[in-house]
Structure 1
Amino acid sequence: MKLKNEETSKKVIIPLKEHEHEHEHHNVKLFFILYLVGLVIFIVTLFFKMGNNVTIFGNTFNNKYILIPVYYLILFLSGFHVIEEGIEDTIKSTKKKKKFTPNVHILMLLAAIGALIIGEYIEAVLLILIFAGAHFLEDFASEKSTKEIKKLLNLNKSKALLINEDGSFSEVASDTLKIGDKVRVLNGSSIPSDGIIIEGHSEINEANITGESIPTYKKVGDQVFGSTINGEGLLIVEINKNSDETVLAKIIELVSQTQNDLSKTAVLIKKIEPIYVNIVLIFAPIFFLLGMYLFKWDRDIAFYRTMVLLIGASPCALAVTDIPATLSAISNLAKNGILFKGGSYLENMADLDVVAFDKTGTLTTGYPIVTDVIRVKDSNVSFHDNIIYHMESNSNHPLAKALTSHFNKGENLNLEVVNMIGLGVHTTYNNNDYQIFKPLDEDFENENINSIISTLQNDGKTVVIFKENNITISIIGLIDNIKESSIDAIKELNNLNIETVMITGDAKNTAKTIANKLNITTVHANVLPTEKASIIKSYRDNNKVISMVGDGINDAPALATSNIGVAMGSGTDIAIDVADAVLMKNDLNKFVYTYKVAKKLKRVVIQNIIFAMTVVLFLLVTNILGIMEMPLAVVIHEGSTLVVILSGLRLLKTIKK
């Protein structure tokens, strides 16, 4: 359903297991133990001196011949995962792509083999020990970058006390619950799945869903979410969603995508890596010949410098300039209640030009109340109020709850109500037609009606009209209060020179009043749901990177059309499904925070790339000048990789205003 533009938001899925710095597909613990064994053996060898003799069982041996096999053993043990990744992954990638696709580890392996060929055993061992050790440190640092993501993915699934038909209880796994099942939730227990409270009341801690640490009071009829924690009350909950449709399941599905969705920068680096390695492999023998015939080095020196070239030119640091930083940023956002589906969307956020907001439930609280009921024609008030009640009780319009709460329910009426999305509702009763709808740019029966509508709209109120047989009976005014967070967020976005737009189905006067209070730049009013996506597309056609923020079913096409669709956490399932990010706390200040994180991520990635390539250039130049030794080259090279990763980890820290 995504209508994302290729240039500005291309979703690319590359499983992390293909990335050489990730080891989910390997037994990391075993490799680390082998590495430590090799390291201990190497430390022991330091007590022996090359060239001296040693007597064992009366026989005299030269240490050199004893230590050489030991060095090979160390290389095998400590470098096992380097060898495995360098060779196995290269073979797999080559077979898959049907062309030689070397892993960056190949360069290090060749350098180590070259050092062995010229008899530099200790340097070969140091190369592998430092390279492999740095790799384990990289993994540790990368693990920190996904801490909050993993925390969300590892939310414990609880057990449920299922109420059987005979009233007895059975303990079952929460993911086996079906719609209609009733469960008993004890105080302090985790609510097993999404449902409606049918007995009891309690304070519910919803922090792991909404990010709000203060418990929320819930009573009969209220929605509760799986994995949230019940307080002191005893609850009976009727399940209303299957396990794969719960809010928690959707969060886990959404967050899981962050592991595989890479930014355009990461994808580009991924594509460049094998090409870069091939260039280095081709240039290495040329460099060897240049060393002998241009720089007049002897054969051993030229070969040694070529091995240092393989180390210095290896793009390890370049390979980690983006992914750890992006995962750190996404983890930071997850900790702050903002869930992103992947790095490609977060990268787009840094280039944001325009933000379009739905009004109801996004800029406003989403809980309007009736403030005015103006009867413009003498009528049977109680009867018409009852008609309004029953029409709206069968409506899915956001204003329906406010209207049914205000108007009294009289006798039961069996009405067949037609919902006209974006327009209103219609029914027929006793051969009379009834309509409830928002006034568009139309003229009514008399100027007085138009005047009343304008007055209400100028006060920032939403207006709906109740008609019988196409004659206006009542004009109803409702107000949906603006969120405090909306005021702060719009102010900050304006200060950041980002154009703010409101797209709403409300009448122009109402929309402009709300927009003026918020200082929103542009207003599109009287917009039908099908038109929202067209408005978003018009901005994109003008090469604007635009984000749509909304929460309703009618926002879904616009969310899908935008470069970055952002759904409010309280929104409908379909809005969350098609969005690229979710603000779990329904706080627009979190949107501004996301933009700041995205901008910082872009700066950090650029800094990392410049640093990584500067180090490579430094190693190459000093190697040509003959002042760079292999162990030092390894230390600088691997040190630069760690610096780049640690630089990315800066994004784990919450950004202050």
Structure 2
Amino acid sequence: MKKLKMTTKLYFFGVILYLLGLVLMFSGFNSAIVTSLFLIATVSSGYHVIFEGFEKTILESKRTGRFMPNIHLLMSIGAVGAILIGSYEEAALLVLIFAGAHFLEEFAEGKSRREIKALLEMTPVKAKRIDDDGKASEISVNDVKIGDRIQVQNGDQVPIDGQIISGQPAINESAINGESIPREKGPGDNVFAGTVNGNATFMMTATKSNDETVLAKILKLVEQSQSHLSKTATRIKLLEPKYVTAVLILFPLVLAAGYWGFNWGLSVSLYRSIVFLISASPCAFAAAAVPATLSALSQLAKKGVLFKGGSYLSNLAELETVAFDKTGTLTKGEPEVTDFYLVDSKDKDKLTNIIFAIESQINHPLASAIASHFVPTERLQVDVSNEIGKGVQAVYGSKVYAIKKPSLFSEVSSLIDKKMRQFAGEGKTVVYLAENDKVIGLIALMDTPNEKSKQTIQFLKDQRIHTMMITGDSKQTGEAIGQFLGIDEVITNVLPEQKVDVIKQQKGQGKVTGMVGDGVNDAPALVTADIGTAMGDGTDVAVDVADVVLMKNDLSKFVTSYEVSKRLKKVVWQNIIFALVVVMVLVGLNFFGLMTIGLGVFMHEGSTLLVILNGLRLLKGNKDSNESVKKQTEPTLGQKMNPVIKG
């Protein structure tokens, strides 16, 4: 920091000397004094440019074992050449403009890094631990242990990942999932480090250590993303020393061509050769990809999409096939009631109360789904007996009510049997409702698609991207979901290793293939795919091995990422073409004697800044994918196929 301040002070000192030199020059002062002012201005403002030019070239050449010149070296040689031919004013102007542009470039590039770095400031440092005797003590978050009771007051950051014990807070989770609207939470709900407690003090239990929190993982992923450039950026970086070497080789050839071929004379030939050196410098070309990539990564990070490297974001625009896991990725990951059928609906309220009374006492995913679906008009007290693997039953009044598997009933009406076959054919799980062993109705359940799946699939199809669903579920269930979502290809009854085979088969056909999943069983396929995307609420293994993480389980963010990747590709190619055109125009004008050192460096560095600013446009981002993938207004899978209650 001190070195940067000193460099900045010396730069502005050089600017003052240069301006003073101009005033004295036009006032007819002693030329030796004017020359001295320009030379001191050159060294004062550009010593770091010259130092970087020669030092980095020497160090990189030693490290790689081959000549590795950089852009700073070209500018340093240009400044020295201008001094040798007596163009002291232009030598100073060259250094002033280049060094000034260099400061602006660093500021512009740093803006996207600062956007990401701001995440670090969200990291909590203190926690208020409550001991067994009720005594409160403030400790470092690094000292928080799993199981510790932590108090979070209104307005404070949640210090660690945990579970609420008491209190009803509204938590702002924008730091984790990009959602600005606070979420109301209560006992049993999970809270995450770095989020903000809005309105009520609550007590929580720590469930993770500080280095294992969701926020810690986000920061780790962000740091990874900055060190992995896109393929285009990497190629440009590798091409830079070769390009600079070519310019240095052409420099004496241009000088010789000017002196012997065009008869410009030694002074003019040397001057134009120096202008060529400056005009052909690949500053704008070198800045074509990195600032744009960092800006795109920063923008997506703020939206809750984390890439482990710029190369993955760049590759996303090339996708030809995307394979999706079903459960928890395309679907909500838990069953819900889609259909409730009664032979006679006149006792609907009574039966609803009985069903709720029975299922609310059972700890089972299907029971929880049924209990959460039915809203009782009266709370009944019943004694429930649970037969593992079969179902449940209870006595109410003088009758026995049972909710069990269809295979346990030998005699059912043709209407019930027909409905059961219909729902089973749609991939739904069916349970019968019986009164005194007589089946009087049925309940159908299914893990239904989440809100954004259908629109995401449609968007990908509009982009002519082949969509697949790979699931270990049954053919009936998988095809029902696939048909509803409009997926091109559905592969069912597959094991984890078979998912990998499907991905390898797609890649073997030369297709850039993506995989989206959330479970341990998806991890091998996520690793194998060209771009593996994990849902943020998925298992730690899936998140660790994936290339992209959607922190909020929202598939529309996948669409956002694809759109940003497309924009990034477009911006980078705009920058590359613009940079090359500028170089060709400047070199062409120079051969006709229409360029000066000052004008050349001004136009050249100006083009570099335009390239960087064009890349920084990606910081703003497009409209959120909630615009592209509109909110679901169509019926859900269950609602579309059948009304909820029939009788």
TM-score by length of 1: 0.81
Q: Return the alpha-carbon distance in structure 2 between the equivalents of residues 399 and 563 of structure 1.
A: 37
Q: Return the alpha-carbon distance in structure 1 between the equivalents of residues 238 and 257 of structure 2.
A: 29
Cα deviation code 1:214-265 (max 9, x no counterpart)? 2222222221111111132222211111111110000000111111110111
Q: Return the alpha-carbon distance in structure 2 between the equivalents of residues 87 and 617 of structure 1.
A: 26
For 2:513, the equivalent position in structure 1 comes to 546
The Cα shift of 1:523 comes to 0.5
Q: Does 1:31 find its partner at 2:7?
A: yes
Alignment-mate amino acid for residue 37 of structure 2: V
**Worse-superposed segment, 247-256 or 622-631:** 622-631
Q: Return the alpha-carbon distance in structure 2 between the equivalents of residues 181 and 316 of structure 1.
A: 54
For 2:592, the equivalent position in structure 1 comes to 625
Q: Does 1:584 find its partner at 2:584?
A: no
For 1:177, the equivalent position in structure 2 comes to 144
**Matched-pair contact (CA < 8 Å) for 1:389–1:404:** no
Q: Return the alpha-carbon distance in structure 2 between the equivalents of residues 87 and 26 of structure 1.
A: 23
**Matched-pair contact (CA < 8 Å) for 2:550–2:558:** yes
* Structure 1 residues 374-453: aligned runs within 5 Å: none
> Residue 466 of structure 2 is aligned with which of 485, 493, 499?
499
The Cα shift of 1:126 comes to 0.4
For 1:167, the equivalent position in structure 2 comes to 134
For 1:574, the equivalent position in structure 2 comes to 541
The Cα shift of 1:578 comes to 1.2
**Matched-pair contact (CA < 8 Å) for 1:454–1:509:** no
The Cα shift of 1:144 comes to 2.8
Give the secondary-structure state (helix, strand or coil) at the position aligned to 1:167.
coil
Give the secondary-structure state (helix, strand or coil) at the position aligned to 1:204.
strand
**Matched-pair contact (CA < 8 Å) for 1:389–1:409:** no
For 1:226, the equivalent position in structure 2 comes to 193
For 2:20, the equivalent position in structure 1 comes to 44
> Residue 515 of structure 1 is aligned with which of 462, 482, 494?
482
- Are residues 271 and 27 of structure 1, via their aligned partners in 2, closer, same or farther at CA, if it must alter by over 3 Å? same
For 1:65, the equivalent position in structure 2 comes to 32
User: Structure 1 stretches of 5 or more lacking a match?
Assistant: 1-24, 54-62, 375-381, 393-397, 418-437, 440-444, 466-474
Q: Return the alpha-carbon distance in structure 2 between the equivalents of residues 560 and 446 of structure 1.
A: 50
Q: Return the alpha-carbon distance in structure 1 between the equivalents of residues 233 and 419 of structure 2.
A: 58
Q: Return the alpha-carbon distance in structure 2 between the equivalents of residues 75 and 134 of structure 1.
A: 15
- Are residues 543 and 400 of structure 1, via their aligned partners in 2, closer, same or farther at CA, if it must alter by over 3 Å? farther
Q: Does 1:282 find its partner at 2:258?
A: no
For 2:399, the equivalent position in structure 1 comes to none
Cα deviation code 1:398-420 (max 9, x no counterpart)? 879759989x997999x9x9xxx
For 1:354, the equivalent position in structure 2 comes to 321
Cα deviation code 1:513-548 (max 9, x no counterpart)? 111111111101112222222211111111111111
Give the secondary-structure state (helix, strand or coil) at the position aligned to 1:233.
coil
> Residue 112 of structure 2 is aligned with which of 133, 140, 145?
145
- Are residues 648 and 463 of structure 1, via their aligned partners in 2, closer, same or farther at CA, if it must alter by over 3 Å? farther
Q: Does 1:332 find its partner at 2:299?
A: yes
Cα deviation code 1:328-373 (max 9, x no counterpart)? 1112222322221121001111111111111222212223236689
For 1:20, the equivalent position in structure 2 comes to none
Alignment-mate amino acid for residue 48 of structure 1: L
**Matched-pair contact (CA < 8 Å) for 1:462–1:507:** no
Q: Does 1:191 find its partner at 2:191?
A: no
Q: Return the alpha-carbon distance in structure 1 between the equivalents of residues 383 and 62 of structure 2.
A: 71
For 2:278, the equivalent position in structure 1 comes to 311
Give the secondary-structure state (helix, strand or coil) at the position aligned to 2:23.
coil
Q: Return the alpha-carbon distance in structure 2 between the equivalents of residues 505 and 38 of structure 1.
A: 70
The Cα shift of 1:302 comes to 1.2
**Matched-pair contact (CA < 8 Å) for 1:389–1:403:** no
Percentage of pairs with the same residue: 50
Q: Return the alpha-carbon distance in structure 1 between the equivalents of residues 222 and 113 of structure 2.
A: 11
Alignment-mate amino acid for residue 504 of structure 1: T
> Residue 534 of structure 1 is aligned with which of 494, 497, 501?
501
- Are residues 166 and 87 of structure 1, via their aligned partners in 2, closer, same or farther at CA, if it must alter by over 3 Å? farther
Give the secondary-structure state (helix, strand or coil) at the position aligned to 2:533.
strand
- Are residues 150 and 409 of structure 1, via their aligned partners in 2, closer, same or farther at CA, if it must alter by over 3 Å? farther
> Residue 93 of structure 2 is aligned with which of 116, 122, 126?
126
The Cα shift of 1:455 comes to 3.3
Cα deviation code 1:169-217 (max 9, x no counterpart)? 2211223212122211112211100011122232111111011112222
Alignment-mate amino acid for residue 497 of structure 1: R
Q: Return the alpha-carbon distance in structure 1 between the equivalents of residues 451 and 296 of structure 2.
A: 26
The Cα shift of 1:451 comes to 8.5
Cα deviation code 1:532-575 (max 9, x no counterpart)? 22211111111111111112222211111111111122222221
Give the secondary-structure state (helix, strand or coil) at the position aligned to 1:48.
helix
**Matched-pair contact (CA < 8 Å) for 1:162–1:182:** yes
Give the secondary-structure state (helix, strand or coil) at the position aligned to 1:201.
coil
For 1:614, the equivalent position in structure 2 comes to 581
Q: Does 1:107 find its partner at 2:83?
A: no
Q: Return the alpha-carbon distance in structure 2 between the equivalents of residues 478 and 107 of structure 1.
A: 70
- Are residues 252 and 446 of structure 1, via their aligned partners in 2, closer, same or farther at CA, if it must alter by over 3 Å? farther
The Cα shift of 1:76 comes to 1.6
Alignment-mate amino acid for residue 223 of structure 1: N
**Matched-pair contact (CA < 8 Å) for 2:177–2:303:** no
**Matched-pair contact (CA < 8 Å) for 2:25–2:34:** no
- Are residues 158 and 487 of structure 1, via their aligned partners in 2, closer, same or farther at CA, if it must alter by over 3 Å? same
For 1:97, the equivalent position in structure 2 comes to 64
Q: Return the alpha-carbon distance in structure 2 between the equivalents of residues 590 and 131 of structure 1.
A: 40
- Are residues 210 and 322 of structure 1, via their aligned partners in 2, closer, same or farther at CA, if it must alter by over 3 Å? same
Alignment-mate amino acid for residue 36 of structure 1: F
Q: Return the alpha-carbon distance in structure 2 between the equivalents of residues 28 and 455 of structure 1.
A: 74
Q: Return the alpha-carbon distance in structure 1 between the equivalents of residues 122 and 559 of structure 2.
A: 27
Instruction: Count residues with an aligned counterpart.
Output: 573
**Matched-pair contact (CA < 8 Å) for 1:148–1:334:** no
**Matched-pair contact (CA < 8 Å) for 2:123–2:193:** no
* Structure 1 residues 71-86: aligned runs within 5 Å: 71-86=38-53
The Cα shift of 1:450 comes to 11
TM-score by length of 2: 0.82
Give the secondary-structure state (helix, strand or coil) at the position aligned to 1:52.
coil
**Worse-superposed segment, 248-257 or 164-173:** 164-173
For 2:561, the equivalent position in structure 1 comes to 594
Q: When you count helix as a share of all residues, which structure comes out higher?
A: 2
Give the secondary-structure state (helix, strand or coil) at the position aligned to 1:582.
strand
Q: Return the alpha-carbon distance in structure 2 between the equivalents of residues 553 and 154 of structure 1.
A: 32
Alignment-mate amino acid for residue 292 of structure 1: Y
For 2:345, the equivalent position in structure 1 comes to none
Superposed CA RMSD: 3.3
Alignment-mate amino acid for residue 470 of structure 2: I
**Worse-superposed segment, 508-517 or 246-255:** 508-517
> Residue 267 of structure 1 is aligned with which of 211, 234, 245?
234
Alignment-mate amino acid for residue 137 of structure 1: L
Q: Return the alpha-carbon distance in structure 1 between the equivalents of residues 3 and 469 of structure 2.
A: 52
Alignment-mate amino acid for residue 19 of structure 2: I
**Matched-pair contact (CA < 8 Å) for 2:514–2:529:** yes
> Residue 293 of structure 1 is aligned with which of 247, 255, 260?
260
**Matched-pair contact (CA < 8 Å) for 1:457–1:507:** no
Q: Return the alpha-carbon distance in structure 2 between the equivalents of residues 535 and 452 of structure 1.
A: 35
**Worse-superposed segment, 325-334 or 448-457:** 448-457
Alignment-mate amino acid for residue 306 of structure 2: L
